Structure 1
Amino acid sequence: MPKVEFDKKNMFFRNLGNTGLRVPVFSYGGWLTVGSHDIKGNPVTELMRTAWECGINMFDNAEAYATGESETQMGNAIKELGWDRQDYIITTKIFFGTGHKETQNTRGLSRKHIIEGCKESLKRLQLDYVDVIFAHRPDVTTPLEETVRAFNYLIDNGLAFYWGTSEWTSSQIAQAIEIAKRLNMVGPCCEQPHYSMFHRERFESEYESLWRYENFGSTIWSPLDSGLLTGKYNHGIPHGSRYHTNPGMMSASVKALETPEGKAKIEKVKKLSVLAEELGGSMASLALAWTLKHKNVSTCILGATKPEQIKENVKALDLYPKLTPEVMHKIETILDNKPAPPPAYARLDDDGNLT
């Protein structure tokens, strides 16, 4: 197989928070895709090759995805594609374990599991190190200082270059940062949260202090809300969609569509779809481009199951420049869900009243 040199094409890059690591604004992730159902072997290679050809050189995974099979399949694809290790970025996450060994120490954020879990992930990925490793969830049963020291160990020993958090509260992240500073160790540099047009509260309100004072980075997941923001569910659940192929995990989401709130979301998607067409793009492109307008989105993780979906998703880069303040105002009017700023950022007006 001929080696394909990385070409960023129309992709643009941002620093991952306050680090020097430059990441593409779109990355490709293995959650609910790689290693699941029939997405193994050659289909994985083709998905990653397509992402690469579209300018994406960052790939996200986790020990828990497809009980470890996602890392294995992605590792096999990387080996087959023969890319230069300096040209791509691999991230993975530790916390849930793989589910194969249900013991007290095969999950969580103890020093034991962080180090052993990372080494097992590296075996599956067939790599010597990952670029970023995430604490997939907070672990309230382990002292936070132990967790900070363990991630610092991974970095000191060349098993990872950076570490981050995923779905932690802002106060937990702030504590980890302060502990690392006190110990003169490497603290977390980024968070991996859910962020989309319909999921804004935590990212735009709770994490505001992290963006403002720590220059924290982010690798956002489910920017299309598992396909809801593509418009595919405007008239029911289509065969082969994520809601259809993952009935257990997505059952709550499917039921939510039948509620008044769910129906209201569908109506908003229909209105946004009209706006997207006026701009010359798709609903998915509009939703993805919208996330990039927040300057603290370092990279937006795509979860496509077909190469064509990746090609379609990156067209959001063409729509991005068209999201002028006027267009963003139209979107905001349709969404009507902008979170209130956190109390700490309330300001006094000229009369001394809180605004």
Structure 2
Amino acid sequence: MEHRALGRSGLFISEIIYGNWLTHGEGVERDTAAACVQAALDAGVTTFDTADVYAQGAAEEVLGQALKGVRRESLEIATKVCLPTGPGRNDRGLSRKHVIESCHSSLRRLGTDYVDLYQAHRFDDETPLAETLIAFDDLVRAGKVLYLGVSEWRAGQIAEALRLAGDLGLRSRIVANQPQYNMLWRVIEPEVVPLSEREGIGQIVFQPLAQGVLTGKYLPGEPAPAGSRADAGGRAPQFISRVLGDTLLRRVQELRPIAADAGLTMAQLAVAWTLNRPGVSAAIIGATRPEQVRDNAGASGVTLDAETLKRIDDVLGDLVDRDPAKTGKMMDVRPEWRASRS
């Protein structure tokens, strides 16, 4: 497993990050979740990503239990705050109240005294940005958070946060951005990536497999494979159905010979593609089985040559979305991506 610096910070993270959205606490039994975490550790993964809102806190609890007994200094644990975690009006957003309370709750569920990376899960238009940045800075000064990041923020929002942190004389600054990014969804490339590279912010990207579609296991005109996320319980099928259109699935199958020529599985090709993009520090993978973790981890250290990258672009062509105005939106805005069947 290769490690990379997170942006221009001094923190090194594993190229492959294990994440537990839609799995721990809702779509995967605890024993299986623990086995997946162990598979990640065995593969050399040291960085783990979660959020307070995942399964309403259960995902943090499951991850904390699975990592119990592992030397804390050998791990980089990341979590997030902003999305609703309860019925109260203050159980959401980036107010000082919610940020501080949510951090304390996350630390308790994870069973740790600090998190390595604390991320604003979304931008909060209802809270003064200065209030949020000061609350984050206070957590850093208290030793409960080591580094700060954001997720799915637009370039202008990130730029304003950096400017304001400087004006306020804060000790901490944003070093990470967690966007949705893969071969098909490249909306961060025109604006977010250039800004981040100038400012030393590393991208830790989620959905490198586009909800599993880029693994090639979903075939046009056929039902979802038994045991896949699209065939599972919980919320996973509603997200995956947005990218199961036959037009898209046929094009994905054309990537098979490219993966074969590179000596990679389809999943490894997709993950390696993100790791070969400018500004990317790591790719977050999710899994419902340990073998998926081992397969995805095989993308670490893989270099894709220019010809391979061009072949991928030639295959996907007009299906690729690079519209920066869609930053922060789910991958459901292209009609040709959507499933026409129920």
Structure-1-length-normalised TM-score: 0.86
1:26 aligns with 2:16: yes
Counterparts of 1:236-251 in structure 2, within 5 Å, are 236-246=223-233, 248=235, 250-251=237-238
Structure-2-length-normalised TM-score: 0.89
Task: Tell me the residue number matched to 1:200.
Answer: 186
User: Is 2:256–2:266's contact at 8 Å kept on the other side of the alignment?
Assistant: yes
User: Is 1:163–1:187's contact at 8 Å kept on the other side of the alignment?
Assistant: yes
Question: Residue 295 of structure 1: CA displacement?
Answer: 3.1
Task: Tell me the residue number matched to 1:230.
Answer: 215
Which consecutive residues of structure 1, in runs of 5 or more, have no partner in the other structure? 1-10, 343-355
Question: Residue 194 of structure 1: CA displacement?
Answer: 0.3
Change in Cα spacing, 1:255 to 1:303, as seen in structure 2 (3 Å) is closer
Structure with the larger RCO, 1 or 2 (CA within 8 Å, 6+ apart)? 2
Partner of 1:233, secondary structure, is coil
Q: RMSD value over aligned CA atoms?
A: 1.8
What residue identity is the alignment partner of 1:26?
I
> Which residue of 90, 107, 125 maps to 2:77?
90
Dislocated runs of 4+, deviation >2 Å: 42-45, 246-253, 337-342
> Which residue of 243, 261, 266 maps to 1:283?
266
Q: Distance in 2 between matches of 1:147 and 1:94?
A: 11
> Which residue of 186, 194, 204 maps to 1:219?
204
1:311 aligns with 2:325: no
> Which residue of 165, 172, 181 maps to 2:157?
172
What residue identity is the alignment partner of 1:113?
H
Q: Distance in 2 between matches of 1:253 and 1:215?
A: 33
1:112 aligns with 2:97: yes
1:65 aligns with 2:48: no
Identity among equivalent positions (%) equals 39
User: Is 2:60–2:109's contact at 8 Å kept on the other side of the alignment?
Assistant: yes
Aligned residue pairs total 320
Task: Tell me the residue number matched to 2:34.
Answer: 45
What residue identity is the alignment partner of 2:282?
T
Bigger drift between 265-274 and 51-60 goes to 265-274
1:15 aligns with 2:14: no
Task: Tell me the residue number matched to 2:338.
Answer: none
What residue identity is the alignment partner of 2:13?
V
What residue identity is the alignment partner of 2:184?
F
Question: Residue 268 of structure 1: CA displacement?
Answer: 1.8
Rg larger in structure: 1
What residue identity is the alignment partner of 1:216?
I
Q: Distance in 2 between matches of 1:157 and 1:194?
A: 31
Q: Distance in 2 between matches of 1:296 and 1:64?
A: 27
Partner of 1:66, secondary structure, is helix
User: Is 1:29–1:303's contact at 8 Å kept on the other side of the alignment?
Assistant: yes
Which consecutive residues of structure 2, in runs of 5 or more, have no partner in the other structure? 325-342
Q: Distance in 2 between matches of 1:277 and 1:241?
A: 23
